[in-house]
Amino acid sequence: MTTYLLAGGGTAGHVNPLLALADQIKKHEPAAEIIALGTSEGLESRLVPQRGYELLTVQRLPFPRKLNASALRFPRQYRANVAAVRAIIRERKVDVVVGFGGYASAPAYSAAKAEGVPYAVHEANAMAGLANRRGAKNASLVAVAFEGTKLPGAVFTGMPLRPEIEALTLVSDKAAARKHFGLDESTVTLLVTGGSLGAKRINETLEASRKVLSAAGIQVLHIMGGNSTLPEVSEPGYVRVSYCDRMELAIASADVAIGRSGAATVSEFSAVGLPAVYVPYPVGNGEQSLNAASAVAAAAAILVKDADFTPQFVANTVVPLLSDSKRLAAMSTAAEKVAISDGAERLYRLVAGLKR
């Protein structure tokens, strides 16, 4: 029996590919033991046990960006995290470690190296994060979701998609999906998502655009995310919820989606051929714009800056787009051409080859 330790978490963008690989391992190796490693603060604390997998945690430890008291404490705290993961590897007889970035991955990579256990790095973003850049230097395998991601020896596998998203690439029932959310089964539908943590600009712009969308005969499924202060709404033609545990149905319900261009979001929308308007997160190193680059270049999506995503943009660009069935069909075809729908299987085949 093989024991896998899968490390990552924080946001859905890290947790979902971890769970997708876990499901793929179980499909091929029913007897395998799968342990997830994360933090108690991230989404993994809820999503991993909900999926039926064991979750062990380490301290959430941001890498210091400047010299202060936290930076002085960091080496000792990091060593403690590494020691904790080394103990897990020894006690649970871990055969392979796979990291997806985030706070739990860095100590997992260090521990695997120290224990002589092969480890793999999967980078979801077009621009690699710090933990994966460091971990890739000694990894047995480096896999990336987007071609062109700059990591040594990277293999392009695409994004591991959850089984329910993979299923949508084969069969999708818009009417049933819309009915699930209390939407009209035959009305053009716009999906809006702020991601797991929410997106203030997106949420506020959609709230201000409700009348123009309604007047155009467009119904909306609006998933706000965790940090929004807007109330939930359930009205004919407009449903707004804080969080959605059935994102596969939300995606299936839509003719067009608006959201941040996180790696998982772009990969999932493209895989199912869903035309999208991406509003990259304006803070950071620009990786979200890069995530959407291939879809935009293929004319499968539209990119708009956060500051430019206004009610005027919705009225002048989004409404006409939803009214243009010919353009939407072309965008859907283009999205499917740039997408990878079997990323979980591709990654599993490579990871399974690392077993000691």
Q: What domain range is 97 assigned to?
A: 3-161+341-352
Q: What pLDDT does residue 307 have?
A: 95
- Residue range 216-251, pLDDT digits in tens: 999 999 999 877 788 999 999 999 999 898 999 999
Tracing tokens 């007897």 back to the chain, one arrives at 31
* Residue-level pLDDT at 143: 98
Q: How many domains does the chain have?
A: 2
Q: What is the mean pLDDT of residues 183-201?
A: 88
Q: Give the global pTM.
A: 0.89
Q: Give the pLDDT score at 356.
A: 65
- In one-letter notation, the amino acid at residue 206 is L
pLDDT of residue 253: 97
Predicted confidence (pLDDT) at residue 71 exceeds the cutoff of 70: no
With vertex at residue 145, the alpha carbon angle to CA 305 and CA 9, rounded to the nearest 5 degrees, is: 85
Q: Indicate if 13 and 157 belong to the same structural domain.
A: yes
Local structure of 120: helix, strand or coil: strand
Residues 2/98, Cβ–Cβ less than 8 Å: no
Q: What is the pLDDT of residues 314-355, one digit of tens each?
A: 999 999 999 999 999 999 999 999 999 999 999 999 999 997
Mean pLDDT of 81-96: 97
185 and 304 share one domain: yes
- Only one residue has tokens 């979902």, namely 16
- pLDDT higher at 73 or 246: 246
Whether 262 and 186 share a structural domain: yes
130 and 55 in one domain? yes
Residue 9 confidence (pLDDT): 81
Q: Are 280 and 214 in contact (CB under 8 A)?
A: no
Dump pLDDT digits (tens) for 97-152. Answer: 999 998 899 999 999 999 999 999 999 999 998 899 999 999 999 999 998 899 99
Same domain assignment for residues 11 and 149: yes
Regarding whether 10 and 155 lie in a shared domain, the answer is yes
Mean pLDDT of 155-182: 92
Residues 199 and 297 in one domain: yes
Distance CA 178, CA 186 (A): 9
In a shared domain, residues 114 and 200: no
- Both 123 and 16 in a single domain? yes
Q: Is the dihedral of CA 28, 34, 39, 44 positive or negative?
A: positive
pLDDT in tens, 258-311: 999 999 999 999 999 999 999 998 877 778 999 999 999 999 999 999 999 999
For residue 125, what is the domain's CATH number? 3.40.50.2000
Q: Are residues 98 and 184 in the same domain?
A: no
Tell me: do 176 and 216 sit in the same domain.
yes
Mean pLDDT of the chain: 92
Provide the pLDDT for residue 183: 97
Tokens linked to 306: 């956060």
Tens digit of each residue's pLDDT (9 = 90 or more) over 171-190: 889 999 999 999 999 999 99
The whole-number pLDDT of residue 93 equals 97
pLDDT exceeding 70 applies to what percent of the chain?
A: 97
Same domain, 113 and 249: no
Integer Cα distance of 292 and 281 in angstroms? 12
Query: CA-CA distance, 112 to 35, in Å (whole number)?
Result: 14
Yes or no: say if 227 and 198 are a contact pair by the CB < 8 Å rule: yes
